[in-house]
Structure 1
C-alpha cells in the first residue's frame, strides 16, 4: 500500500504534466469526484473529467509548468493539501487565437483519500484572474 503522500505526489506530477486519466486513474478510486467554484470547471464533476481537461489545457498552454509552494499531509483526516503556482503561455489553439500572454495562477488541490486512493478532489482557483491574464476574458 502506497502512502497518501506518495500517491498525491505522483498524481500531481501526472495531472500537471497532462498525462490524463489513462495515467491518473491509477491513483484514484473508481468514480472519484471533483469540485471547484471556478467557471471553466463548472461542468466538471469527476477526477477523470478534470485530468482530461488538464491534458487538453496543456495543448493550448504548451509550455505549462507548476511550482509547488506547500505540501501538507493530514493523516488524521486522510487528506493532502497542495498549494502551487501554474505558469503557462497561450501559444496554440484554445478558445481564441493564441494571445502569447502568460498566466501565473495560484491554486490549491485538496485531495481526500479512501485508503491510499483519491476519492474526492477539490480545486481552489481564481479562474477569472487567470482568464484575464491570458487575454481570454
Structure 2
C-alpha cells in the first residue's frame, strides 16, 4: 500500500507548482471534493477545480512559490495536514487590477482526507482578505 504521507507530498508539490488537475489527479479519487471558507474559493467544490484554480494563479503570479513549514500525517483520522507560506508578486496579467508589482506573503493550511490510498477531500484554511489586500486586489 502506498504511504499516505508520500502521496500527500506528491499531490502538494504538484498543486503548489501549478501542475493543475492533470498533474494532481493520480493522487486523488476521481470525485475528490474541496472546501474553503474564503471568498475567491467559495464556488470551488471539487479538488480538480481547485488544482486548476491554482494553476491559473501562475498567470498573475508567475514567480509564485511556497515555503513549507509543517507536514504531518494523522493515520487515526486518515488525513495529512500541510502548513505553508505562499509568496508571490503580481507581475502578470489577471486579477481585478493591472499588474501592481506588489508582493504577498500568506499562510495557509491544507487538510487532505484519504479514502484508501488516495485523497478524497481537501480543505484549505486561508485568510484571503489579508492576502488580497497585500497585492491591491481588495
TM range (shorter): over 0.9
Could you give the per-residue CA deviations for residues 80-136 of structure 1, whole angstroms, max 9, x where no partner exists?
011000000001111221000011000000000001100000000000001000111
Q: Aligned with 1:48: secondary structure?
A: helix
Give distance in 2, aligned partners of 1:127 and 1:116: 30
1:101 and 2:116 are equivalent in the alignment? no
User: What's the CA shift for 1:60?
Assistant: 1.0
TM-score between both structures, scaled by the size of structure 1: 0.98
Corresponding residue of 1:7: 7
TM-score between both structures, scaled by the size of structure 2: 0.98
Corresponding residue of 1:68: 68
- Which stretches in structure 1 are left out of the alignment for 5+ residues? none
1:52 and 2:52 are equivalent in the alignment? yes
- Which stretches in structure 2 are left out of the alignment for 5+ residues? none
RMSD over aligned CA atoms reads: 0.6
Give distance in 2, aligned partners of 1:2 and 1:129: 37
Corresponding residue of 1:18: 18
Once superposed, which parts of structure 1, at least 4 consecutive aligned residues long, lie more than 4 Å away?
Answer: none
